[in-house]
Structure 1
Amino acid sequence: MSLIRKKMYRIIEPAEKGDLSSKVFDLFMLILIVSNILAVIFETVKPHKFYVYFEFFSVIIFTVEYLIRIWAAPENPLYRHPVTGRLRYAFTPLILIDLIAILPFYLPMIVGFDMRIIRVFRLFRIFRIFKLGRYSKAMHLLGRVFRNQKEELLIVVFIMIFMIIISASVMFYVENSVQPNHFRNIPQTMWWAVSTLTTVGYGDVIPATILGKVLGSFISILGIGLFALPTGILASGFTEEIRLHRAQTGRSPSRGSFCRHCGKPLD
């Protein structure tokens, strides 16, 4: 049984170089996940029995995969204990995503058949797109970039929130007396601040006073620079991750000048 579990663990984990069975499994799951996402989309165009059968087939596969992952978890040194190890593994982000991917099928059987509830549960099926993170190297790369740049991105988020509050507050006091229906209070004015800072400009709420228009123009210009910050941070993170990956795998043209473990230049 231990050998079978070890074999299953090796198959369901991300494929290593030369591991054909694991690569086939990863490819099959990747195709199944993408097909499920497409099915959720096209089912809203024209319902067909095929989607019902395909959903049933997919849920069986995803359920078996989920149970095998829980069963084989002790093969991972981090979850060695057969009980507590499996419980801790069951609450890791990727496994929770696996659970959410199958819950829409089983929950209506438990809570009843209210059509409104079923429609909400069926919406959860779109979360299967997050399962791609386990089988896609590009998604792994994206996840590492967000983890490495999380502090910088968090600072940008705080700056954005600060700018929205300041912009909404100033515009409220400038425009409230002229347009009390559109700029009724600061929370309502935040809608205008968000659409202006993001340079969307829906046009449903616009300043009427000269001072309001000047402030609106200034805030729009600030928004262009403000929302370019996360783009630059992520671009820098992607560049660093790609450079590090090439240095570690020896694919860099000057691989001899980089450490294969940390990717930093060697003196």
Structure 2
Amino acid sequence: MTDGSQDDALADAGYHDVPAEAGGRAARGWWDANAEEYLDEHGAFLGPADLLWCPEGLRESQARLLGDVRGSRVLEVGAGAAQGSRWLRTVAGADAVATDVSAGMLAAAARLDAAAGTRTPLVQADARALPFADASFDVVFTAFGALPFVPDTERVHREVARVLRPGGRWVFSVTHPLRWAFPDDPSEHGLTATRSYFDRRPYVETAADGRVLYAEYHRTVADHVADVVGAGLVLDGLVEPEWPAGHERVWGGWGPVRGARLPGTLIVRAHRPRT
């Protein structure tokens, strides 16, 4: 889970309270160190230019969760290698911009652009402090980006509300909160709850000196709804993709065994009111 250097060697992993500042800044270094490994493992499934919402395999070309974006100004936060923005620009006709906190992931995005002969606007930015003017985008989205890795998601939602134009849409996917009660195991062993759904301590990996190397944060369904509404946005709906028949790919704790019985992904759709 780390870059393999002695200083960053994983010494402990578990569910612990850590200082918010340390947990919130860990994502940048972790994704810088692990961008290539992540894309080596998942790049073929993600595709160089496609908007994949979740390990269940739901793609924007099927779901149309963003609506008709042709000619629209679209922002992706936590874009990784910008596969979603690249697809929106080259296939869906959107004027899309990709942001990510990780320079390593954005470097991978630039390599994908070079290989495909495309040009995707890439901006290094923390989703909690977006470097864009008020009301400058018609749509903002993220697929498993930014939100799981910060302790203060309300800041992300407020920033999204700020940069959205009135009537603009906000769509995000995250690990389904129910999953946090179960071991991260795609086999039958992952079907028995071992933690409280209401235990909001983050999953944390630390080095021997106590430094936080990785932090991922849990929120209940009610927490996600409260964050959206608290930012002044209107909730339009929740989507819980079912595991499709014949889909055998395992991705971490996602796979056909658990997918047949437990939801793996939550997708939230909201918009900024016009008045």
TM-score of the aligned structures, taking structure 1 as reference length: 0.22
Q: Which has the higher relative contact order, 1 or 2, with Cα contacts under 8 A spaced 6 or more apart?
A: 2
Which has the larger helix fraction? 1
TM-score of the aligned structures, taking structure 2 as reference length: 0.21
Which has the larger strand fraction? 2
